[in-house]
A and B are shown apart, each in its own frame.
Chain A
């Protein structure tokens, strides 16, 4: 990446953000709704929120749950998806299950899960886990299915056993597609993190957000939304960096967001 490229590549996203803020500020001034404070008032809350130990603790708590749910989901979903892609039997077993679970909004399961596991970490982590698992399974499955058979044959001719081939040929060959699923999973992890905390209020980003909403602290509400958005942006940016580094060898699957390629 040349220095010239980095300095101009950051410009369009910056302009987009500024444009959005300007629109928000304008809308707030024009419509004068109490539920829509002007952008500058919400943004003024940001330093206070980010300096507040309590708020920081809640953000960290949310991120911790998200990381655990996300990590566990990857540990399960990638192997399941890859196995499905290479074995018709395994695919025939899992496919109907996934078809049933896929369209259900995971947050809608939250009240039921809370009956089993309570309002604590376990329920929220499980919902995040479910939200992340499905796209990762799906894309791992597609990626594994598309692996060129002759690649596996070449490895077999070198004496590689089937299970080894799954780890050392299918996994790397499917990796670009797996990463597409993981990126979707990352966004869903963030969404399910917030909604789970909205339903099971106890701690976390969603808890602050919705408690502030109840107390009509609208500038805090919007400041929290900005923080969540920023969190998503940073996580996605870090993930794209990791991906670009790990699968630099691959033909591009999709063009990555402007400026990060």
Chain B
């Protein structure tokens, strides 16, 4: 589904030499697979998503989606940005409907679908609020709904639950898993939380400190559908979390 081959990204910094953000990333993500990316701040996680999204060109290497090389953004890949990037002149409803109208859906149908998604992210009653009138966590949920609305088969989620309180966060993790179980989207999910990565994913990719390389890929063999209450007391879940935390703390071998 997503084939990443020998990907590197360097930035020309304003002052002096070029700065390598990602080095030699190769990763295959199967259709319907949920893959999380973990790594220290600044290791290039966002950059990797931007390249797969087609927003930023790689310096070296290739990305292909369904066998076709990525040359730009497309509605098959739906991004949820760390910065939300909502349209401030549109209401919650307007934001969530935007992609549907853009894809040519009739207004009444788009509104119906958007309202359903707004309910799903627990924002019923806020349909006519503008982004400036929402909290950070609410904006994040609107951003998720806006992307889910137009039905991309691949989701590129950059710390989508980062600004949420623990309760809303676990609630939305469950919602995301439900959605995923239902339509089996391919998900590339960036997070800082090891628990979250293990809970959600089929595989967890751990990146090294900048420049980001793949340190290790860990398969999460936990059965699905997953229930949070059961997993928390599951020895295999606990072991995976501890192992990955150790892996992240482990010193990096010289390249």
Contact = CB atoms under 8 A, between A and B. Distances in A.
Q: Is the interface of B mostly helix, strand, loop or mixed?
A: loop
Given A150-B83, A151-B85, A251-B88, 12 more contacts: A151-B86, A153-B79, A155-B102, A156-B72, A157-B53, A157-B77, A158-B103, A159-B102, A159-B103, A172-B89, A249-B88, A249-B131
Interface string A137-159: 00000000000101101111111
A240 B73 CA distance: 39
B150 interface: yes
Nearest to A172: B89
A169 interface: yes
Contact of B78 (A157, A175, A249): A157
B81 A158 contact: no
Contacts of B83: 148, 150
Interface residues of A, number: 20
Nearest to A252: B132
Interface string B63-105: 0000000001111011101010111111000000011001100
B73 A157 contact: yes
Nearest to B85: A150
B132 A251 contact: yes
B89 A175 contact: yes
Nearest to A159: B75
Interface of B: 50, 53, 55, 72-75, 77-79, 81, 83, 85-90, 98-99, 102-103, 130-132, 146-147, 150, 152
Q: Is the interface of A mostly helix, strand, loop or mixed?
A: helix
A221 interface: no
Contacts of A251: 88, 132
Contacts of A67: none
A240 to B, nearest CB: 18
Nearest to B149: A158
Contact of A153 (B73, B86, B131): B73
Nearest to A171: B89
18 contacts: A150-B81, A151-B86, A151-B87, A153-B81, A154-B81, A154-B85, A157-B53, A157-B73, A157-B75, A158-B75, A158-B98, A159-B103, A160-B102, A172-B87, A173-B87, A249-B90, A249-B131, A251-B132
A16 interface: no
B85 A153 contact: yes
B85 A157 contact: no
B210 to A, nearest CB: 21
A188 B208 CA distance: 57
B87 A169 contact: yes
Interface string A153-185: 111111110000000010011010000000000
Contacts of B131: 249
Given A249-B130, A251-B132, A157 B87 contact: no
